[in-house]
Every structure is written in C-alpha cells, then in structure tokens.
C-alpha cells in the first residue's frame, strides 16, 4: 500500500519536474488564445497569493506528514493521497531549490498553474468524494442497524 503510493508519487513528481525544467523561460502556444505553456515564477501560493516562503515550506511539510500518518488508516484513499502527496512534494522541491514554484499552464485568462497543482486539486476532490461516501455509508449502516434493533423489540 505505502509502496504503491510512493511509486505513483515518484512518477508524478518526476513528470512535473521534467516539464518545469523544459519550460524554463519559454512560452508555447498550444491552442491560439486558449491554451499556452508559459513559464512563470510563482513566489506566492495558489494563484500567486503572497505568503512567507518559510511558512509555506513548513505548512507543505506538515501536510505531507499528515498524509503519511493517515495512509495506513484509510487504504481506500491510495490514489487521492498519491496525487496530493506528489503535488505537495513537487511544489515543495521548487520552493526549497529555487525559492519559488514554477508554473506553466495557462488556460484563457485564468491564473497560471502547474501539473502539481492539478494533482493536488484532483487528489483533494477524490479524497472528499470517497471520504463523504464513507460517512454516508456508515450513517446508512447505523440507520439500518438501529431500524433492525427497533424492529426486533
């Protein structure tokens, strides 16, 4: 389980880091006026919101440690944890090595982002979907158990 998360995460981190190296100081038009690959140094957090770099690194490492802690408890969240883990680590690598995060995906006039950001967003969406479904299923089980106990009385 943990090996699967590490294996998936390493592949995703390597992919993001290779693209970041390729994109240094470049702009590539993929679909005119819609989709570009454009190099940007992001000194902030998501969407360029400014925050102290040391604080961001600390929070990133804290999030990574939290996910390491919950890996074994929630085995059904392997894919989402892998995505969040990979995105967090890849952007943390940027902050430690470069002092900023390399962003490179530009769609329309949205803020520029990177593949690691996409990993995190998709991972969080999967996490919440699975987590919420587990809560709903547990509530249904509890309701069914309570109903069957009432029926027996």
Our answer to whether residue 16 is catalytic in this structure is: no
Our answer to whether residue 117 is catalytic in this structure is: yes
Cα–Cα distances in Å, from 44 out to 52, 55, 152?
Answer: 8, 11, 60
List beta partners, residue 106: 36
Among residues 16, 94, 117, 143, the one annotated as catalytic is 117
Of 115, 94, 110, 119, nearest to 41 by C-alpha is 94
Q: Is the dihedral of CA 123, 101, 94, 17 positive or negative?
A: positive
Cα–Cα distances in Å, from 125 out to 39, 41, 76?
Answer: 26, 26, 14
> Cα-flanking dihedrals φ and ψ of residue 39, to 5°?
-65, 135
Question: Which active-site residues does the annotation give?
Answer: 103, 117
């Amino acid at each position: 389980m943990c090996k699967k998360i590490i294996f998936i995460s390493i592949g995703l981190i390597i992919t993001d880091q290779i693209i970041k190296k390729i994109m240094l100081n470049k702009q590539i038009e993929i679909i005119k006026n819609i989709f570009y690959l454009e190099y940007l140094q992001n000194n902030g957090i998501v969407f360029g919101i400014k925050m102290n770099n040391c604080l961001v690194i600390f929070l990133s490492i804290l999030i990574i440690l939290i996910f390491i802690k919950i890996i074994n408890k929630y085995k059904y969240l392997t894919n989402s944890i892998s995505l969040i883990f990979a995105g967090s680590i890849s952007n943390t690598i940027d902050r430690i090595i470069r002092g900023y995060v390399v962003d490179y995906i530009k769609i329309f006039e949205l803020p520029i982002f990177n593949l690691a950001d996409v990993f995190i967003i998709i991972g969080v969406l999967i996490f919440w979907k699975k987590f919420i479904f587990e809560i709903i299923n547990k509530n249904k089980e509890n309701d069914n158990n309570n109903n069957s106990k009432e029926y027996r009385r």
